[in-house]
Amino acid sequence: MIRAVKPEDAEQLSQIYDAYQSQSGGGWERDPLEPDRMAEHIAAWTPRLPWLVYCELDKPLGYACAMPWREQPAFRYTVETCVYLDASVRGQNLGSQLYRALIGQLREQQFHQALAAIPLPNAASIRLHEKLGFRKVAHFNEVGCQAERWINLGYWQLLLARFAPQAAP
């Protein structure tokens, strides 16, 4: 079942993120992402941006979310997106299902562009994003440092909707 995130999901989502980060080196946090900090992210971003969770028996086993790409008003129609799955459900097409639902909501909310920052190498994430229509637009060498090694970062971009922008309120 895919549903909107709830505040009480923060603990499980932080565990999913931390496990992903420790197993793949794909996260950007230096220390574990504490549930309180995850709850702060949820509270700050979900009034405007969708966060979706995949649950079995109401236990979150994965999530896809949108975050502001930049805080300046000029970037209000562009979001950064990501998806994280518990190791027990990877390879079951759930990442695609979550991401499609997220992209659908972003289109309904009239966002223009979605960006995904992918630590490289990461064949599975690249495959997922490109399957959903994202295209690589940037490659940065050695911009992150995790586990005492330099990490390259690629950006993938997806056009969500074409529309004439409105003046900022």
Do you find a cis peptide bond into 60, omega within 30 degrees of 0? Answer: no
Whether 111 is covered by a domain: the verdict is: yes
Match 């992918």 to its residue by tokens: 118
Length of the chain: 169
Three-state DSSP class for residue 21? helix
Q: pLDDT value at position 20?
A: 77
Q: How confident is the model at residue 18 (pLDDT cuts 50, 70, 90)?
A: confident
Pick from 23-27, 46-50, 83-87: least confident: 23-27
Domain total of the chain = 1
Match 């295209």 to its residue by tokens: 135
Whether 38 is covered by a domain: the verdict is: yes
Whether 167 is covered by a domain: the verdict is: no
Whether 43 is covered by a domain: the verdict is: yes
Whether 44 is covered by a domain: the verdict is: yes
CB atoms < 10 A from the CB of 168, how many? Answer: 7
Sign of the Cα torsion 11, 125, 150, 140 reads: negative
CB atoms < 10 A from the CB of 116, how many? Answer: 22
Side-by-side strand order, sheet with 78-85: 2-4, 51-56, 59-68, 78-85, 113-120, 149-159, 135-146
Averaged over 40-63, what is the pLDDT? 94
Please say whether the beta carbons of 37 and 45 come within 8 A. no
Question: What percent of the chain has pLDDT above 90?
Answer: 72
Pick from 28-32, 90-94, 138-142, 165-169: least confident: 165-169
Q: Is 144 exposed, middle or buried (0-12, 13-18, 19+ CB in 10 A)?
A: middle
* Distance from the first to the final alpha carbon of the chain: 36
**What pTM was computed for the model?**
0.91
Using the predicted structure, report yes or no on whether residue 28 has a pLDDT greater than 90: no
Query: What CATH code is carried by the domain that includes residue 133?
Result: 3.40.630.30
pLDDT tens digits, 104-152: 999 999 999 999 999 999 999 999 999 999 999 999 999 988 778 898 9
pLDDT tens digits, 78-108: 999 999 999 888 889 999 999 999 999 999 9
Whether 133 is covered by a domain: the verdict is: yes
What is the span of the domain harbouring residue 55?
A: 2-159
Whether 166 is covered by a domain: the verdict is: no
